[in-house]
Structure 1
Amino acid sequence: MKNRREFLKTSLLGAAGLSLAPTLLQGAPAIIKSYNKPNSLINGVQIGCITYSYRSMQDQSLEANIRYIKESGISAVEMMGEPVEYFAGMPSPTFNRMRGFQLGFKQRNGENLTSDEQQELAEIRQASEAYAKVVSDWRAKVDYKKFEQVKKMFKDEGISIYAFKPSAFGMNNSELEISYGMKTARILGASHVTLEHPDNDGHTMILGKMGEKHKMSIGYHGHEQQTFTFWDKALAQSPKNGLNFDAGHYVAAGHRDMMELIQKQHYRILSMHIKDRQKPENGKGNLPWGTGDTPLKDILTMISKQKYKFPATIELEYQVPQSSDAVKEVQKCLEFCRKALG
């Protein structure tokens, strides 16, 4: 009887406690829902990451990419196309695409390729052209339900996709592929797609008009060819054309007016890549954050104070130390942002 009385007393006190602690317990479902999920929204600034940052990781599957993002503490991303499309059933290439990216990046940076590297790059590009036809045929009859599944996979882990970057928007892609890319981005929940600026006014016009049709914005990415007026033509062509600005490359190009550019174009910047690069006189290197010339703290502080809406996207391009990996380095970049915005 005593045990029963103690049980009833404890139960009644517990019930009373529930009614007397509404603030904490009413929030409990939200707490439970967000438990063990990343949050990289810092003082109003959405810190994101482009999944290209994880290119050095051995497993490049969609499931692995989601794990990398979550372990990095990132809650919103610019998603490269390949992991998503392979999950959806896109045929895999029979050549080393990553090697092609490495050689192409080296060439774009003005480094001299050896004769063997030049031949290797030429062979990869030839194979890439044949593969593009295979991919185009697959995209023409894709099952879009797989992309709905992808969105749920990200949502379940507390991660949103704000930008999508499949290789579907180039000058060699058909309008059908462009439509596919924009429709896929919308299903994934992205506000915009991204691509390298094609340096062709006719093509940015086509993309802008198709963006209007599909209600999808297009962010044009630039490297060291970026200037203060680099995007002006595309912006005038369509309200759906915008900037996928890269702060690090802008510094490496030797420009001194980046803050003015951000202030002028903030309403057309869809997302911004952040990395720490050196000025030309210091070598243009990609360095661990805080050791280069990109004014990262000033940029992040301005985004926060001015309440700009675009995300700041971590792009890991410096050499990953042998004792580390890409996930750990993205974690360091995110911690830099937390301290800068603290």
Structure 2
Amino acid sequence: MENSKSNFSRRRFIGTSATFVAGATISGPSLFAAPSMLKFPEKPNSIINGVQIGVITYSFRSMPDQSAEATLKCILDCGINAIELMGDPAEIYAGKPENPVDRRAYFTLLRSKRKGEDLSDEQQKEMAEMQEKIAAYTKVVAQWRSTVSMDKFEELRKMYNDAGVTIYAFKPRAFGKDNTDAEIDWGMRAAKTLGASHVTLEHPGDDVHTQKLGDMAKKHGIFVAYHGHEQQTPTFWDTALKQSKHNALNLDLGHYVAAGNTDSLEIIKSKHNRIMSMHTKDRQTPEHGKGNVPWGTGDTPISQALQLMRDNNYKFPATIELEYNIPEGSNAIEEVKKCLKYCEKSLS
């Protein structure tokens, strides 16, 4: 999962059409006003029989506007009251320098190269130029993060909280081995300011780095929850968990199944006290093709997992992550709503 599928600046957002793909036309100052002027008469509630259902804002990556304001509108339209927030909406809101590279175009070329496809000379040249720009931009962002005030993050938190949405996790691209200590420090401070209990990142596969992150998280009084894809196994997180009480799991139930593991409910039972949040999606087993499919059509025991959380009073949130292909005529908001309905039915 990429942190920046669409990197629109707030200036571009304000200058674009106010018509959402969700089907509601929003006009006037209600969306674009200062946060203190935004009004939300009805607050969402996605706690179902004691289980907090959330959503990762990555689920809305296909929506045309990626600003903090537009993202909040998507969340509210889905009826969800708690989220894992990707980095871009918050950072763009706080004034992050605009990325000069079209990340969609770059990752299209990168995927083609990784698949072994032959790139034309022109495509190779274009990719090399993009990589140079990305390297330069990365340094600019690192410098910005080292000096930016937390004021806008406080303001964003208030805007979301006033609307009835809490931020339980924050996922910027700030915790990798290629990030500076100042960036890691910034990411944890920003997460705390946003009200998050933990930050999330892909497991780096480096014991030295997980030790470092755990130590830094302890200093900030926050947790680091490591995400995994098909490399997840029952022992995948064990070293990091032993290193620090501030290292934790961001279990991905769908990827866990697609990896061929058959103990999905058992790992929840055995690790529940170290799980900070759980990505929830429906994937198939290797025998069935590992597909990422609409909920209820794959092999992931979503209902059983949610019921396990309910029956045992597990307090970590189940995070909806929309990764299956959106059907023609629908959009991310409508599909996330379907996922939430599936949760409601499972927990009723």
2:69 to 57, 60, 63: 63
1:327 aligns with 2:330: no
| Aligned-residue offset at 1:102 | 5.8
| 1:114 corresponds to | 117
1:252 aligns with 2:255: no
| 1:299 corresponds to | 305
| 1:336 corresponds to | 342
What is the rounded CA distance, in whole Å, between the counterparts of 2:110 and 2:213 in structure 1?
24
What is the rounded CA distance, in whole Å, between the counterparts of 2:47 and 2:296 in structure 1?
20
Which stretch shows the higher mean deviation, 34-43 or 141-150?
34-43
| Aligned-residue offset at 1:114 | 2.2
| Aligned-residue offset at 1:103 | 6.2
| 1:278 corresponds to | 284
Structure with larger Rg: 1
SS in 2 for 1:291: coil
SS in 1 for 2:234: coil
TM-score normalised by structure 1 residue count:
0.86
What is the rounded CA distance, in whole Å, between the counterparts of 1:39 and 1:56 in structure 2?
24
* CA offsets 1:8-33 (integer angstroms, 9 cap, x no match): xxxxxxxxxxxxxxxxxxxxxxxxx9
User: Aligned AA for 1:186?
Assistant: K
| Aligned-residue offset at 1:112 | 2.0
What is the rounded CA distance, in whole Å, between the counterparts of 1:72 and 1:89 in structure 2?
27
Aligned length: 307
| 1:180 corresponds to | 186
Residues 121/230 of structure 1: CA separation in 2 closer, same or farther (3 Å cut) = farther
Matches within 5 A, 1:48-59: 48-59=54-65
Residues 123/251 of structure 1: CA separation in 2 closer, same or farther (3 Å cut) = farther
* CA offsets 1:209-259 (integer angstroms, 9 cap, x no match): 000001010000000000000000000000000000000001101110111
| 1:38 corresponds to | 44
| 1:8 corresponds to | none
Between structures 1 and 2, the one with greater helix share: 1
| Aligned-residue offset at 1:35 | 4.8
| 2:138 corresponds to | 132
1:266 aligns with 2:254: no
2:88 to 82, 96, 100: 82
What is the rounded CA distance, in whole Å, between the counterparts of 1:105 and 1:201 in structure 2?
28
User: Aligned AA for 1:191?
Assistant: S
What is the rounded CA distance, in whole Å, between the counterparts of 2:112 and 2:312 in structure 1?
37
Residues 73/105 of structure 1: CA separation in 2 closer, same or farther (3 Å cut) = farther
1:236 aligns with 2:242: yes
What is the rounded CA distance, in whole Å, between the counterparts of 1:238 and 1:333 in structure 2?
34
What is the rounded CA distance, in whole Å, between the counterparts of 1:296 and 1:133 in structure 2?
41
| Matched-pair contact (CA < 8 Å) for 2:257–2:285 | yes
Residues 104/54 of structure 1: CA separation in 2 closer, same or farther (3 Å cut) = farther
| 1:168 corresponds to | 174
- CA RMSD, Structure 1 to Structure 2 (Å): 1.9
* CA offsets 1:126-174 (integer angstroms, 9 cap, x no match): 4322211010010111011111100011011100000000111010111
| Aligned-residue offset at 1:44 | 0.7
Residues 314/99 of structure 1: CA separation in 2 closer, same or farther (3 Å cut) = farther
* CA offsets 1:296-317 (integer angstroms, 9 cap, x no match): 1000000000111100000000
Question: Which blocks of at least 5 consecutive residues in structure 1 are unaligned?
Answer: 1-32
User: Aligned AA for 1:172?
Assistant: D
What is the rounded CA distance, in whole Å, between the counterparts of 2:291 and 2:129 in structure 1?
29
| 1:14 corresponds to | none
What is the rounded CA distance, in whole Å, between the counterparts of 2:292 and 2:214 in structure 1?
32
2:153 to 147, 151, 155: 147
* CA offsets 1:17-73 (integer angstroms, 9 cap, x no match): xxxxxxxxxxxxxxxx99511110001110000000000001111110000000011
Residues 213/68 of structure 1: CA separation in 2 closer, same or farther (3 Å cut) = same
Residues 175/328 of structure 1: CA separation in 2 closer, same or farther (3 Å cut) = same
User: Aligned AA for 2:175?
Assistant: F
What is the rounded CA distance, in whole Å, between the counterparts of 1:296 and 1:338 in structure 2?
12
SS in 1 for 2:77: helix
| 1:25 corresponds to | none
User: Aligned AA for 2:48?
Assistant: I
| 1:315 corresponds to | 321
What is the rounded CA distance, in whole Å, between the counterparts of 2:222 and 2:110 in structure 1?
29
1:200 aligns with 2:235: no
| 1:190 corresponds to | 196
What is the rounded CA distance, in whole Å, between the counterparts of 1:286 and 1:113 in structure 2?
23
| 1:11 corresponds to | none
User: Aligned AA for 1:226?
Assistant: Q
| Aligned-residue offset at 1:294 | 0.4
| Aligned-residue offset at 1:260 | 1.1
Question: Which blocks of at least 5 consecutive residues in structure 2 are unaligned?
Answer: 1-38
